[in-house]
Amino acid sequence: MAVLIRSLNALGRLALPPRCAGCGTIVGEDHRFCGACWSGMRFLGPPWCAGCRVPFEYDRGEDARCAACLADPPRHAGVFAAVAYDELSRRLALNLKYGRRVGLGETMARYMARIIPGGVDLLVPVPLHRWRLWSRGFNQAVVIGAAVSRATEVPLDREALVRTRATPSLKGQGRTARARAVRGAFAVPDRERIAGRRIALIDDIYTTGATAQAATAALLRAGAASAAVLCWARVLGDDD
């Protein structure tokens, strides 16, 4: 039986070979990128701000913080993003969200799992309002979070956080308008599910942080010990 399964898998790979998640070029394994796409992405990591984890151009010291964090410290415990937001990372997120290519959630999760903050004991996806969930058919943060959970063995609770009201699309809105749109839009229906837990809030793209701040506020009010953000891509600098 094992030999038969291996043979069928080999035939399947010949008929449908693995392709680059970015451009479709044939690659050696599923959920990988070709050399051109790989070299074109900016993978994020230290040195970075001790508060929000925005990358620094050079190492400023272990507890160095960016100007934004010094002026207004975020309530979340840092944004852990796999890559910088660019045309390629944007295309993958859109293909997952609107193109229904749910396999891309696994691709993103593999790179996100590498940078999950230490000590996290619960994954919580950023929820959609029920009307948007019904129209789209799935929540991309749940798809990604389930794959991160499989890779890290950290449990995922898809019902720990809910969106209490529909919010307008944040696309094209500035920082202040985004914050106003999502203020008070999240709630924790059962505090016992998150009390004392160190949470990683799962999302696809981190832009101005309005959604993450509102969701974090709800989690901390309900008794979470901390809430970091774990996402696929982060908008940096002028891309805000």
Residues 155 and 172 in one domain: yes
**CB contact at 8 A, 111 and 70:** no
Residues 15 and 70 in one domain: no
DSSP helix, strand, coil percent of the chain (3-state; round to 5): 40, 15, 45
pLDDT of 62: 85
Structure tokens belonging to residue 54: 């925005």
Q: DSSP secondary-structure letter at 41?
A: S
Give the end of a domain, one of 40, 56, 71: 40
Residues 224 and 137 in one domain: yes
- Digit-coded pLDDT (tens) for 12-57: 444 578 898 888 889 888 888 999 999 999 999 999 999 999 999 9
- What are the E-state strand segments in the chain? 79-84, 122-125, 162-163, 186-187, 198-206, 226-234
Q: Among residues of the chain, what percentage have pLDDT more than 90?
A: 64
Residues 76 and 113 in one domain: yes
> How many whole angstroms separate alpha carbon 200 and alpha carbon 124?
6
Residues 13 and 54 in one domain: no
Residues 6+ apart with CB under 8 A from 206: 79, 81, 212, 229, 231, 233, 234, 235
Residues 175 and 226 in one domain: yes
Residues 27 and 118 in one domain: no
Residues 114 and 32 in one domain: no
Burial of 140 (C-beta count, 10 Å sphere; 0-12/13-18/19+):
buried
Residues 25 and 57 in one domain: no
pLDDT of 178: 63
> How many whole angstroms separate alpha carbon 98 and alpha carbon 81?
21
- Digit-coded pLDDT (tens) for 142-193: 999 999 999 999 999 999 999 887 665 556 555 666 666 667 678 999 999 9
Peptide bond into 125 cis (omega under 30): no
Residues 212 and 97 in one domain: yes
Query: What pTM value is reported for the model?
Result: 0.87
> How many whole angstroms separate alpha carbon 155 and alpha carbon 127?
16
Residue found under tokens 């790979």: 13
Residues 79 and 3 in one domain: no
- Digit-coded pLDDT (tens) for 63-92: 999 999 999 999 999 999 999 999 999 999
**CB contact at 8 A, 96 and 45:** no
> How many whole angstroms separate alpha carbon 45 and alpha carbon 81?
8
Residues 10 and 60 in one domain: no
Query: Could you tell me the residue range of the domain that residue 24 belongs to?
Result: 1-40
- Digit-coded pLDDT (tens) for 86-101: 999 999 999 998 888 9
Q: Number of structural domains, the chain? A: 2
